[in-house]
Amino acid sequence: MMMKRLASIFALWLVIASACPALADFSMEDEQKLGKEFYDNLKNKGLLLEDPEVTAYITKMGNRLISQGEKTPFSFTFSVVDSPAINAFATPGGYVFLYRGLIELTENESQLAGVLAHEIAHVRARHIADSIDKSKNIGIATLAAIIAGAFLGGDATAAIASFSIATATSLNLKYSRENEEEADRLGMSYLTGAGYDGTGMPQFLGIMKNFEYYSSAVPSYFLTHPGTDDRIRYLDTLLEMDGGSHRATAETGDLGRIQTILVLKDKDSNRSLKYFQRALEKNPASVDALYGLAVVEGRTGKTTESIEGFNEALAKRPDDPRILRDLGITLYTAGRIGESLDPLKKAHALNPADGDTLVYLGRACEYLGNYSYALERYTEYRERFPDREDVFYNLAMIYGKLNDMGNSHFYFGKYFKSQGKRDSALFHFRKALPYFSADPKKTAEIEKEMAPPEKGSPPGPPPGKGKGGSRPQKVEKTMSFL
C-alpha cells in the first residue's frame, strides 16, 4: 500500500513535470527547488511521520553531525518516512529521510547516526546532483525519475513505464561504488568528529545483512547503496587507521523511547506485541518495553494487564508525560473515565503542548459534567493547533451544553464544512448569525466561512474526510494514541 501511494505521487509529478523545459545546468538553486518539491509532495500526502519528539530527536542528531566538515549553502531537513521498510536516502538540497523500519532495527545511537552521516555525505558531495549536472538536455521529469528511483526502489521502473517516460528507464538509479566509498569516508569523519563510536557504521551494515539472510527479504537500502561487503571492509580499514574512532558515545537522546514511539505507530498490533515481548525478554526492567506492551495490551482489550504494565512503568519513571497520558487514555477508552483524570492532569502539567492529552482531558471533564474546564482544554487545543479540525465537533457540543448557542452553531458549521457537507455547514452558520448581531468582527468571520469557494480553489473534502476530521460517534478513536 505504501509503495502504491508513493508511486501515485511520483506518477502525478511526472505528468506535471513532463511539460517543463530541460535544464542546461543543475545549479545549487535547482537542487534546493527539486529537494523541497519532493519533500512537500511527501509531507502533503501524509507519508512523513509527524511526531514532535521523534522529529526533534532526529534533527538534533543530524545537526550534531552537520556541525562537522564543510558548510553547505543550504540548511538540512531530517524526516522519518512512516513505513516499516529498511531504507534511508537523501535528495539534493539537504533533505534526508530515514524510514521507520530502519530506526527500529538499529541497536544503538551510533549505528543510526552512521546512517545519517552517510546520507549527509551524499548531499555534501553532490552525488545525485553531479549525475544530473553531467547529463545533457535533461528535463525536470527525468530529474524526478532519478530522485523517485532512489525512493521507490524496485517500484520505480513500473511507475515510470506506466507513464511512457522512456528516457527515465535508462538511468542508473544506484550510487556508484566510488560514491559509496566517498560517502563512507566523509560520513565516518562526521560520525567520529561528533563524538560517536565509528564502529556503528559497519555494525549496522552487518545487522542489515543478517536481516536479509534470516528474513529472505532484501532491505530497500541495499537497492540504492551497493557493495555492502566491500563497504564493511573499507569501513573496518578506516577504523584501523584511526584508533580514536572507537570511543564512548554521548547520546543525543533516548533511542529506546523513539523506537517505542515508532513501533506503536505500526497498525499491526501482533507485530508490536512481539516486539515488546522480545524486548522484555532481553531486559525485564526496560521502562520503554513495559510502557509499549501496556499500550498494545490496552489496544487489544487486555485492560487489566495494560494498567498493571503502566503502573509498573510509572513506578520506575513516575513523571513521564507519555506514560501518564496513555494510561489516562487507556482508562478513558475502557470506560473508567473518573480514574483517567489524575494521570491526564499530571501529563498536562508536565507537557501542556501535547494535543492528545488536551483532547482526552477535555472529553473526560465533559463526560463528568465539568464543562467549563473541558472548554478551556478544547480552546487551548484549538489555539495550539489552529490547522487541525478534529476538535470542532467537541467545541460545538460543549458550547451547547453551556447554553452558548451562537458558538455551538458556529463550530457545528465549521465541523460540517471540514467534512465537505456544505449545506449542513450553511444551516448552522445562518443559525449562528443572529447571536452575534452586535459583534461585527464575529459576524464578518461567519460570513467569510459562508462564502462560496473561489474559482480555481481546490474542492472541499468528501464527507467524512475533512483534515483531521472524524465521525463524532467514534470521537474517542480519532486521535493518534501516541
Name the residue with higher pLDDT: 273 or 41: 273
The answer on pLDDT for 5 being more than 60 is: no
Percentage of the chain lying above the pLDDT 90 cut: 52
Span 351-362, pLDDT tens digits: 999 999 999 999
How confident is the model at residue 128, as a pLDDT? 74
Residue 154 — pLDDT band, cuts 50, 70, 90? Answer: very low
Span 460-468, average pLDDT: 43
Name the residue with higher pLDDT: 249 or 206: 206
The Cα 344–Cα 361 span in angstroms is 6
47-56, 61-70, 156-165, 287-296 — which one is most confidently predicted on average?
A: 287-296
The answer on pLDDT for 406 being more than 90 is: yes
Span 39-60, pLDDT tens digits: 888 888 888 998 999 999 999 9
The Cα 120–Cα 187 span in angstroms is 7
The Cα 324–Cα 28 span in angstroms is 47
Span 424-432, average pLDDT: 97
How confident is the model at residue 73, as a pLDDT? 79
Contact, 201 vs 114, CB < 8 A?
yes
Spatial CB neighbours of 138, under 8 Å, sequence gap ≥ 6: 22, 23, 26, 132
The answer on pLDDT for 72 being more than 90 is: no
Percentage of the chain lying above the pLDDT 70 cut: 73
How confident is the model at residue 134, as a pLDDT? 63
Q: What is the H or E stretch that residue 27 is in?
A: none
How confident is the model at residue 125, as a pLDDT? 85
Residue 242 — pLDDT band, cuts 50, 70, 90? Answer: confident
Residue 234 — pLDDT band, cuts 50, 70, 90? Answer: confident
Span 62-82, average pLDDT: 90
Domain locations along the chain = 2-245, 387-482
Contact, 61 vs 252, CB < 8 A?
yes
> How far is the CA of 339 from the CAs of 157, 295, 296, 325, in angstroms?
55, 17, 20, 12
- What letter does residue 88 receive in the DSSP assignment? E
Name the residue with higher pLDDT: 130 or 446: 446
Report which of 124, 250, 110 is spatially closest to residue 186, judged by C-alpha positions: 124
> How far is the CA of 265 from the CAs of 112, 164, 271, 460, in angstroms?
19, 36, 11, 28
Within 10 Å of residue 315's Cβ, how many Cβ atoms? 10
How confident is the model at residue 456, as a pLDDT? 54
Q: What is the H or E stretch that residue 471 is in?
A: none
Q: Which residues pair with 97 in a beta bridge?
A: 79, 89
Report which of 198, 297, 267 is spatially closest to residue 238, judged by C-alpha positions: 198
- The C-alpha cell at 3 is 509503495
The answer on pLDDT for 307 being more than 80 is: yes
Span 117-126, pLDDT tens digits: 999 998 898 8
Strands 138-139 and 77-81: unpaired
Q: What is the CA radius of gyration of the chain?
A: 25
How confident is the model at residue 453, as a pLDDT? 80
From 1-10, 165-174, 242-251, 265-274, the region with the lowest mean pLDDT: 165-174
Span 109-136, average pLDDT: 83
From 155-159, 319-323, 395-399, the region with the lowest mean pLDDT: 155-159
Cα 259–265–266 angle (5° rounding)?
Answer: 100
How confident is the model at residue 20, as a pLDDT? 45
The answer on pLDDT for 22 being more than 80 is: no
From 286-290, 398-402, 478-482, the region with the lowest mean pLDDT: 478-482
How confident is the model at residue 349, as a pLDDT? 98
Residue 147 — pLDDT band, cuts 50, 70, 90? Answer: low
The answer on pLDDT for 387 being more than 60 is: yes
How confident is the model at residue 207, as a pLDDT? 87
- The C-alpha cell at 33 is 527547488
Name the residue with higher pLDDT: 461 or 469: 461
Span 222-246, average pLDDT: 71
- The mean predicted confidence, pLDDT, of the chain is 80
Q: Residue 348 is which amino acid?
A: H
Report which of 191, 10, 217 is spatially closest to residue 113, judged by C-alpha positions: 191
Report which of 226, 209, 196, 201 is spatially closest to residue 127, judged by C-alpha positions: 226
